[in-house]
Amino acid sequence: MPTSEDPEAEIARLSAEISRHDALYYREDAPEISDAEYDALRRRLSQLEDAHPEFKRAESPSATVGAPPVGAFGKIRHEVPMLSLGNAFDDQDVTDFVQRVRRFLNLGEGDPLDVMAEPKIDGLSISIRYENGSLVQAATRGDGAEGENVTANVKTIKEIPHVLEGKAVPEIIDIRGEIYLAHKDFEKLNAAQAASGGKVFANPRNAAAGSLRQLDSSITAKRPLRFFAYAWGAASKLPADTQAGVAAAFGRWGLPINPLVRVSGDPSELLAFYREIESKRAKLGYDIDGVVYKVNRLDYQERLGFVSRSPRWAIAHKFAAERATTVLNKIDIQVGRTGALTPVAKLEPVTVGGVVVSNATLHNEDEIARKDIREGDTVVVQRAGDVIPQVVEVVLDKRPKNSHPFKFPKLCPICGSHAVRESDEDGNAADVVRRCTGGLICAAQVKERLKHFVSRNAFDIEGLGAEKIEFFFDTGRIKSPADIFTLEKRDQISDEPLITLRGFKETSVGKLFAAIDARRNVPLDRFLYALGIRHIGETTAKDLAKAYGTFEALRAAVDAAIGAGKESDAYQDIDNIEGIGETVVDALIDFFGEAHNREQIDALLHEVTVAPFVRTQTKESPVTGKTVVFTGTLTKLTRNEAKAQAERLGAKVSGSVSKKTDYVVAGAEAGSKLDNARALGVTVLDEDGWLALIRGA
Ligand code: IVH
* Ligand 1 atom index nearest CA of 118: 15
Rounded to whole angstroms, how far apart are CA atoms 536 and 570? Answer: 19
The one-letter amino acid at 368: I
CB-ligand 1 contact for 84 (6 Å cutoff): yes
Residue 468: its H or E element: helix 466-474
CA of 125 to the centre of ligand 1 (A): 7
CA atoms within 13 A on the CB side of 538: 17
Atom 2 (ligand 1) nearest CA:
83
Q: In ligand 1, which atom is closest to the CA atom of 294? A: 1
Q: Is the pLDDT of residue 70 over 70?
A: no
Q: Which phi and psi angles does 507 have, rounded to 5°? A: -65, -40
The amino acid present at 601, given as its one-letter code, is I
* Least confident range of 221-225, 269-273, 362-366: 362-366
Tell me how many helices (H) and strands (E) the chain has.
24, 26
26-to-32, 63, 148, 223 alpha-carbon distances in Å: 12, 16, 11, 19
Sheet holding 134-140, edge to edge: 134-140, 124-131, 172-180, 226-235
Query: Is residue 654's pLDDT more than 50?
Result: yes
Continuous segment of H or E residues that includes residue 293 = strand 288-295
- Contact indicator for 39, 83 with CB cutoff of 8 Å: no
User: Which pLDDT score, from 0 to 100, does residue 73 have?
Assistant: 85
Atom 6 of ligand 1, residue of closest alpha carbon: 120
Q: Tell the CATH superfamily of the 523-611 domain.
A: 5' to 3' exonuclease, C-terminal subdomain (1.10.150.20)
Q: What is the pLDDT of residue 431?
A: 81
The rounded Å distance from CA 291 to ligand 1 centre is 10
Pocket test for ligand 1, best of 26, 126, 178, 263 (most atoms within 8 A of CB): 178
Give yes or no: 120 in active site: yes
Residue 58: pLDDT over 60: yes
User: Over pLDDT 70: what percentage of the chain?
Assistant: 93
- Choosing from 56, 120, 294, 371, the catalytic residue is 120
Q: What's the Cα-to-Cα distance from 340 to each of 111, 441, 446, 521, rounded to whole Å?
A: 53, 15, 13, 31
- What is the whole-number distance in angstroms between the Cα of residue 118 and the centre of ligand 1? 10
Q: Is the CB of 314 under 6 A from ligand 1?
A: yes
How far apart (Å, rounded) are the C-alpha atoms in residues 441 and 435? 14
Which pLDDT score, from 0 to 100, does residue 149 have? 95
Taking the CA of residue 258 as reference, the ligand 1 atom at the shortest distance is 15
* Test site for ligand 1: of 39, 80, 85, 306, most ligand atoms within 8 A of the Cβ: 85
Helix H or strand E encompassing 433: strand 430-436
Q: Which atom of ligand 1 is nearest to the CA of 231?
A: 1
Q: Is 85 in the pocket of ligand 1 (CB under 6 A)?
A: yes
Q: Does the Cβ of 301 fall within 6 Å of ligand 1?
A: no
3-state secondary structure 21-88: HHHHHHHCCCCCCCHHHHHHHHHHHHHHHHHCHHHCCCCCHHHCCCCCCCCCCCEEECCCCCCCCEEE
| Position 384 confidence tier, pLDDT thresholds 50, 70, 90 | low
Q: Can you tell me whether residue 142 is helix, strand or coil?
A: coil
Q: How confident is the model at residue 538 (pLDDT cuts 50, 70, 90)?
A: confident
Task: For residue 306, give the ligand 1 atom closest to its CA.
Answer: 2
233 Cβ inside 6 Å of ligand 1: no
Give nearest CA residue, ligand 1 atom 21. 125
516 CA to centre of own chain: 29
pLDDT recorded at residue 644: 73
Q: Please, which residues bridge with residue 262 across strands?
A: 117
User: What is residue 322's DSSP assignment?
Assistant: P
Q: Which amino acid, residue 118?
A: E
Q: Is the CB of residue 231 below 6 angstroms from any atom belonging to ligand 1?
A: yes
Strand-pair category, 419-423 with 430-436: antiparallel
Q: How far is the CA of 176 from the centre of ligand 1 (A)?
A: 9
Closest residue (by CA) to atom 17 of ligand 1? Answer: 120
What residue type is 672 in one-letter code? S
Distance in Å, CA 142 to ligand 1 centroid: 14
Please determine, for residue 137, whether its predicted confidence score (pLDDT) is greater than 50. yes
Torsion of CA 678, 680, 684, 690, to 10 degrees: -160
Cβ of residue 230 lying under 6 Å from some atom of ligand 1: yes
Least confident of 68-82, 122-136, 474-488, 529-543: 68-82
Give the mean pLDDT of 186-212: 86
Name the band, by pLDDT with cuts 50, 70 and 90, for residue 424.
low
pLDDT at res. 557: 96
Which amino acid appears at position 431 of this protein? D
The domain spans of the chain are 75-318, 523-611, 627-694
Whether the per-residue pLDDT at 385 is higher than 50: the answer is no
Q: What is the pLDDT of residue 648?
A: 76
The dihedral over CA atoms of 153, 154, 158, 160, expressed in degrees to the nearest 10, equals -170
Q: Is 558 helix (H, G, I), strand (E, B) or coil?
A: helix
- Shortest CA distance to 18 belongs to which of 50, 56, 64, 69? 64
- C-alpha angle with apex 538: 463 to 335, nearest 5 degrees? 65
Q: What's the residue count for the chain?
A: 697
Taking residue 149's Cβ as centre, other Cβ atoms within 10 Å add up to 17
Instruction: Pick 571 or 363 by higher pLDDT.
Output: 571
424 compared with 399, residue with greater pLDDT: 399
Kindly report the average pLDDT of the chain as a whole number.
Answer: 89
Does 627-694 carry CATH code 3.10.20.590? no
Least confident of 224-238, 391-405, 424-438: 424-438
**Whole-angstrom distance, CA of residue 247 vs CA of residue 176:** 11
Quickly list H helices, 217-297: 217-222, 243-252, 267-280
Confirm whether 75-318 and 627-694 share one CATH topology. Answer: no
> Which pLDDT band holds residue 536 (cuts at 50, 70, 90)?
very high
Residue 179 Cβ contacting ligand 1 at under 6 Å: no
**pLDDT at res. 110:** 92
Q: Name which residue leads in pLDDT, 203 or 266.
A: 266
Find all residues with CB under 8 Å of 188, minimum gap 6, and list them: none
> Which residue intervals of 312-397 are DSSP H helices?
365-371
> Does residue 67 have a pLDDT over 60?
no
The CATH number that domain 75-318 falls under is 3.30.470.30
Does the beta carbon of 178 lie inside 6 Å of ligand 1? yes
Q: Order of strands, edge to edge, in the sheet holding 86-88?
A: 86-88, 314-318, 288-295, 115-121, 262-264
Q: Cite the beta strand spans of 97-225 per DSSP E.
A: 115-121, 124-131, 134-140, 146-148, 172-180
Residue 81's pLDDT is 93
What is the pLDDT averaged over residues 177-198?
90
SS3 per-residue string spanning 530-555: HCCCCCCCHHHHHHHHHHHCCHHHHH
Alpha-carbon gap, residue 230 to 311, rounded angstroms? 14
**Whether the CB of 116 sits within 6 Å of ligand 1:** no
SS3 622: coil
What's the pLDDT tens digit per position in 557-615?
Answer: 999 999 999 999 999 989 988 888 899 999 999 999 989 899 999 999 999 999 998 76
Q: How far apart are CA 674 and CA 657, in angstroms?
A: 8
* Ligand 1 pocket check for 123: Cβ under 6 Å: no
Q: Is the CB of 311 under 6 A from ligand 1?
A: yes
Amino acid, single-letter form, for residue 386: D
Ligand 1: does its nearest atom lie under 6 Å from the Cβ of 118?
A: yes
Distance 164 CA to ligand 1 centre (A): 22
Specify the residue with its C-alpha closest to ligand 1, atom 13: 125
Q: Using 50, 70 and 90 to split pLDDT, how confident is the model at 387?
A: very low
What are the two backbone dihedrals, phi and then psi, of residue 85, each rounded to the nearest 5 degrees?
A: -120, 145
> Cα(283)–Cα(130) distance, rounded to whole angstroms?
33
pLDDT band at residue 386 under the 50/70/90 scheme: very low
Residue type present at position 617: Q
Q: Which of 276-280, 558-562, 618-622, 680-684 has the lowest mean pLDDT?
A: 618-622
Note the pLDDT of residue 616.
57
Which atom of ligand 1 has the smallest separation from the CA of 124? 13
How sure is the predictor about 36, in pLDDT bands with cuts at 50, 70 and 90? Answer: low
Radius of gyration of the chain (CA): 31
Q: Beta strand pairing status for 627-631 and 663-666?
A: parallel
